[in-house]
């Protein structure tokens, strides 16, 4: 007697499965997917879609059973994320939430950031990133980027080759010695390259898979870190001199070999190294220093915009800088170039820029000046000028720019003196994070009787004074460097020049509307940052073609080509 085999119960088809049923013996189809399957795919933030993997994708990629059954949309996922972020009590908690999302799902991360840029950018970068760096070792969850130490000397090329993504176009590197205004944070400064590159993608449209954060861990001289058992960097004093230079040289050469198409951005190096390294490499490779050149460009854009309010030309300004480090000198140099373009000689332009360092006014009588300050060591007949208030009274500046990293240096007396000297004084408190700002927006507006034109490095809230609403302009480098990077990458530029940053400043200032200016805003709203970056990229690309620095043939429609290149945070279908 023949016994019939019992019929197997058919596998139920979920309503979201579009009729596809997984075979019990099915293996993942690897013909159309990002290169990984199963749990490995869920652990790859560049390709992971989480609950947004369709049922068909789950079948083919070995994901069945590894996710809750209902398929989500990207919009629904983003709604969940932003709701949870907003429930967090502190900005640091929100920073950690967003960083964790970046480690899980990069597409979703950039969807949330780009859709909520004004709300999220202060959380993933200044001012919150400063606290994130200070607590880096204590908040550590998952490593991002590459760490290179002196112990890899002779093998840096191999370290770079360990990076799994080979088409790297933008690298941000730091040695952690001067993180924002917080000083030497050693390897804990990795939060800065990670944050900068997040803005390259969110604001500029550089694909996240083409970015690489790097920390040169050359030690730290911060005693608190050296004594902290949880510190994750080398618990050793910083290397200096030839040993340091040789390490950087090998690193730069290795980058050119392993990632020959990459733009290399130096970030948060101490003054004595920042200027040296920029001068050494700027004419050899495609590189720039954002603290020097990016800060200069966004500040120059602010000066252009302010001139539309004051009806003063750039060449009419007399600028007093509080601080004489890399940011201050970088601004001074770019402003001098811009003034020369408007008709002044180099000496005339430099004579309109004055600097205060930690000791006194930078002038020709000083014998203790570092090399980068010497071009601005002017002669004067004011006698000793020991402090900022005395400098304001002696120099009578139209613009006061703070880049010292020291909080509350623009005192009541100084702001009032600026207002006495000028109908519309320019008060730029650019030091980051917010806790290090030279003054607040409220102080600038109220102490000048509403006449100050204010700009800050970190965000300040809208302020109402005597019935007038002021929108403080945030001179954030994020207005500049993502667009510059996009332009450089788009045309494969051989170098990055000061002319590119000057043109970026002009392009940014042109996007400021009369309505923006009426509210005191010197920059367009961040909600337009994608458009802003594309315009800046176009201006930079034009310089590249003009100066024969581009390696990519000029397209028929440059603007459209750049817009088409911008990464969009949308999920791709893998099967």
pLDDT band per the 50, 70, 90 thresholds, residue 33: low
Over residues 68-91, mean pLDDT: 98
Over residues 459-467, mean pLDDT: 92
Write down the catalytic residue from 49, 196, 350, 373: 196
Mutual orientation of helices 91-104 and 106-115 as an angle, nearest 10°?
Answer: 140
| Token pair belonging to 430 | 């650019």
pLDDT at 491 over 80: yes
By the 10 Å C-beta count (0-12 exposed, 13-18 middle, 19+ buried), 461 is classed as exposed
| Known catalytic membership, residue 196 | yes
In tens, the pLDDT along 514-542 reads 999 999 999 999 999 999 999 999 999 99
Domain parsing of the chain, residue ranges: 119-269, 293-476, 479-512+525-565
Name the β-bridge partners of 227.
none
Report the alpha-carbon distance of residue 8 to residue 22 in Å, rounded: 15
pLDDT at 153 over 60: yes
What's the Rg (C-alpha) of the chain? 26
- The answer to whether the 119-269 and 293-476 domains have the same CATH topology is yes
Report the alpha-carbon distance of residue 170 to residue 137 in Å, rounded: 25
pLDDT at 29: 38
Closest CA to 109 of 120, 93, 122: 120
- Domain 119-269 belongs to what topology? Rossmann fold (3.40.50)
Helices (H), 116-258: 117-124, 128-134, 136-139, 156-161, 191-199, 223-227, 241-258
Q: Which CATH superfamily is domain 293-476 in?
A: NAD(P)-binding Rossmann-like Domain (3.40.50.720)
Write down the catalytic residue from 125, 304, 376, 445: 125
| Mean of the per-residue pLDDT values of the chain | 92
- Percent of the chain, pLDDT > 70? 94
For the range 442-450, what are the long-range contacts, defined as Cβ-Cβ under 8 Å and sequence gap of 24 or more?
443/410, 443/412, 443/415, 444/410, 444/415, 445/470, 447/412, 447/415, 447/416, 447/419, 448/415, 448/416, 448/418, 448/419, 449/419
| Known catalytic membership, residue 157 | no
Model pTM score: 0.91
In tens, the pLDDT along 320-374 reads 999 998 899 999 999 999 999 999 999 999 999 999 998 899 998 888 888 889 9
pLDDT band per the 50, 70, 90 thresholds, residue 25: very low
Mutual orientation of helices 191-199 and 106-115 as an angle, nearest 10°?
Answer: 70
């Amino acid at each position: 007697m023949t016994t019939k085999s019992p019929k197997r119960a058919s596998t139920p088809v979920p309503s979201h499965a579009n009729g596809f049923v997984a075979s019990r013996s099915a293996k993942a189809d690897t013909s159309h997917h990002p290169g990984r399957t199963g749990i490995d795919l869920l652990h790859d933030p560049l390709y992971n879609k989480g609950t947004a993997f369709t049922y068909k994708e789950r079948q083919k990629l070995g994901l069945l059973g590894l996710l809750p059954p209902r398929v989500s949309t990207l919009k629904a996922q983003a709604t969940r994320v932003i709701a949870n972020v907003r429930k967090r009590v502190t900005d640091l908690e929100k920073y950690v939430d967003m960083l964790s999302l970046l480690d899980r799902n990069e597409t979703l991360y950039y969807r949330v950031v780009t859709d909520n840029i004004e709300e999220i950018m202060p959380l993933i970068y200044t001012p919150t990133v400063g606290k994130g760096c200070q607590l880096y070792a204590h908040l550590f969850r998952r490593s991002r980027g590459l760490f290179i130490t002196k112990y890899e000397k002779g093998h840096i090329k191999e370290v770079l080759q360990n990076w799994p993504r080979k088409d790297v176009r933008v690298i941000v590197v730091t040695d952690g010695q001067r993180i924002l205004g917080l000083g030497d944070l050693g390897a804990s400064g990795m939060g800065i390259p990670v944050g900068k590159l997040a803005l390259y993608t969110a604001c500029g449209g550089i694909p996240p898979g083409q970015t690489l954060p790097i920390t040169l861990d050359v030690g730290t001289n911060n005693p608190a870190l050296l004594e902290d058992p949880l510190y994750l960097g080398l618990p050793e004093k910083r290397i200096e001199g030839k040993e340091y230079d040789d390490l950087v040289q090998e690193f730069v050469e290795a980058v050119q070999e392993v990632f020959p198409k990459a733009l290399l951005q130096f970030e948060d190096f101490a003054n004595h190294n920042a200027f040296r390294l920029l001068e050494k490499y700027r004419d050899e490779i495609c590189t720039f220093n954002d603290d020097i050149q990016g800060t200069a460009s966004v500040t120059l854009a602010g000066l252009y915009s302010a001139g539309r309010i004051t009806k003063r030309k750039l060449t009419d300004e007399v600028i007093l800088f509080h601080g004489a480090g890399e940011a201050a000198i970088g601004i001074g140099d770019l402003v001098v170039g811009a003034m020369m373009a408007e008709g002044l000689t180099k000496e005339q332009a430099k004579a309109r820029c004055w600097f205060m360092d930690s000791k006194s006014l930078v002038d020709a009588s000083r014998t203790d000046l570092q090399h980068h300050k010497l071009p601005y060591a002017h002669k004067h007949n004011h006698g000793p000028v020991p402090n900022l208030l005395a400098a304001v009274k002696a120099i009578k500046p139209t613009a006061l720019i703070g880049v010292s990293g020291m909080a509350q240096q623009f005192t009541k007396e100084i702001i009032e003196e600026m207002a006495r000297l000028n109908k519309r004084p320019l008060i730029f408190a650019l030091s980051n994070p917010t806790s290090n700002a030279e003054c607040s927006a409220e102080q600038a507006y109220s102490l000048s009787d509403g006449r100050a034109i204010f700009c800050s490095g970190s965000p300040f809230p809208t302020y109402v004074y005597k019935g007038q609403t002021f929108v403080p302009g945030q001179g954030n480098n994020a207005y500049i460097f993502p667009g510059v990077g996009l332009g450089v990458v788009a045309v494969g530029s051989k170098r990055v020049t000061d002319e590119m940053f000057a043109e970026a400043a002009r392009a940014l200032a042109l996007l400021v509307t009369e309505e923006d200016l009426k509210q005191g805003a010197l920059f367009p709203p961040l909600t337009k940052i994608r458009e802003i970056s594309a315009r800046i990229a176009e201006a930079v690309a034009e310089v590249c073609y003009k100066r024969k620095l581009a390696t990519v043939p000029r397209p028929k429609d440059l603007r459209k080509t750049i817009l088409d290149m911008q990464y969009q945070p949308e999920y791709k279908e893998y099967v």
